[in-house]
Amino acid sequence: MATRGMVATSQPLAVQAGLDILKLGGNAADAAVAVAAMLNVVEPISTGIGGDMFALYWDAKTRLVTALNGSGRAPAGASIEALKGLGYMRMPTYTGHAVSVPGAVAGWSDLLARHGRMTLTDVLQPAIETAERGYPVTELIARGWATQVKKLLRSPDWISGDLDNGPPQPSGNELLIDGRAPRPGEIIRLPTLAETLRGIAAEGKDYIYRGEFAHRLSEHVQRYGGWITPEDMAAHHSTWDAPLTANYRDVTLYECPPNGQGLAAILAVKLASGFDLAGMSEADRAHIMIECMRLGFADALQWVCDPAQVAIPLDELLSRDYIDARRQFIRMERASRSVTHGFPRVPKPQGADTVYLSVVDGEGNACSFINSLYMGTGSGLVVPGTGVALQNRAALFALDPEHPNALAPNKRPYHTIIPAMLTRGNELLASFGVMGGFMQPQGHFQALVNMIDLDMSPQMALDAPRWQLNAGAGGGMGAHEPGGLVLIEEGWDFATLAELGRRGHHISPVDGFRRGLFGGGQIIWRDPETGVLIGGSDPRKDGCAAGW
């Protein structure tokens, strides 16, 4: 608890970087970028310059929430026909074709330009210093890092599932120690990444998009089959949008609009608003929430794509009449037998290598922020001499040209990363998020119900055991299949699990390190009357919440 500002994220060193910026007079936007940059250093397998970002920002003066889309687009040369000519029936996952233009640095810059007080030079200093001096790697991060070694080096025995892994990659060693992952407690230094951050601090976003870095990135991606050119890099720009909203009880949930999957959370929450979840038994409540989430995903997986290239019927999807009609599919006594959708499915979102952070400053401004490479180290491609791993977000495109999310030039793909916010009346209530690929809208929904219906504190809401609709085999989406697989975390009452099974849910318990499948979240709650900030951080990750 605190009053003058608070930061919460998945790594304590990053939390401290954000607090330092707040103490120097920065606001929530300034601190958020400082935390994001530090996370690139201390969790480089999950996030960074080579990835994308999204943010929601609450301006305490205007009392408005704005949504920043810092995701990149497919290159101008992207081609379904070319991939099919190479023998691909679905998007490759780790080749250069899977690399979309990284939007993170432009997003950092644009967030500061609209809402911040400081410059990139100011807020990147903690990350630069830490990358140069080094830091000890935590157990959880070291464990994830070790799974990425063969990908980073393009080892001959690495099996990626793609038709061509490409040649060995010496630059992968820039994120390793003598060709291996750092061990728990071992200090790692990232000098080439520090130099890249220093260039951004000196020259701004143009250092990434209009200089030598853009040429190096393009050459490296093309070496592994991709299409990105310096012209694609120079053409990149962020966008500001009106957020999607859902009224639930006496609060309003905010999510970024498509191409992010926040639509799934909005639909699920709107459906759930027709039920008294607080008054239900645990089994009834879990059943109804699972069914709401299935229906939410059915529509989201049909429609989430780039709205600049495909008309998405958001007004119809979010209308009261449509929500009321969809709610009729839910039966208390049994899992749905038919959840309809109109288009072929989007390729399954997967992977949980993302970072989420939340900042609220002493004036009441708030930033809910998420930054990711998608799958651990993304594509695994590291731009030589820069320490920058490149995302593989384009892997989420479809190769069916009739699909709304079909690969096309200059198009943004379906995106899994989503931040969230809550307001009550005309006041900020919470800045929160749950990272973890396909888990994210489900985590938002469960955290919301825990706080609003069950009156849990932020930490209690994050500690509570979770469920997750799981992606089915063969690329199918179990989320909207009748009675589809439901992963259940440790801590649920056995009678609840038995009852869910009786109603037709296919329950699969998960324990141990696999709890990471349920993501990791942070919440900062602000008492509108006193301004007191109450933070929580997920026990499934290394992070913390801290204030001053």
CA distances from 418 to 48, 243, 257, 409 (A): 16, 11, 9, 24
Helix axes 104-115, 28-42, angle to 10 degrees: 160
- Asked if 437 contacts 416 with a C-beta cutoff of 8 angstroms, the reply is yes
Q: What is residue 177's DSSP assignment?
A: B
Q: Report the 3 state secondary structure along 336-367.
A: CCCCCCCCCCCCCCCCCEEEEEEEEECCCCEE
Residues 6+ apart with CB under 8 A from 217: 102, 228, 233, 383, 386, 388, 390
> Read out DSSP for 272-289?
HTTS-GGGS-HHHHHHHH
Give the length of the chain.
Answer: 548
Residues 6+ apart with CB under 8 A from 27: 115, 116, 117, 361, 363, 365
Phi, psi of 171 (to 5 degrees): -65, -15
Q: Give yes or no: 530 in active site.
A: no
Q: Strand, helix or coil at 508?
A: strand
Distance CA 372, CA 392 (A): 10
Distance CA 281, CA 244 (A): 30
Residue 341: which region, alpha, beta or left (left: phi > 0; alpha: psi -120 to 50)? Answer: beta
Q: Which one of 9, 196, 354, 386 is the catalytic residue?
A: 354
Compute the CA torsion angle 524, 528, 530, 533 (nearest 10 deg): 0
Alpha-carbon 285 to chain mean position: 26
Active site residues: 354
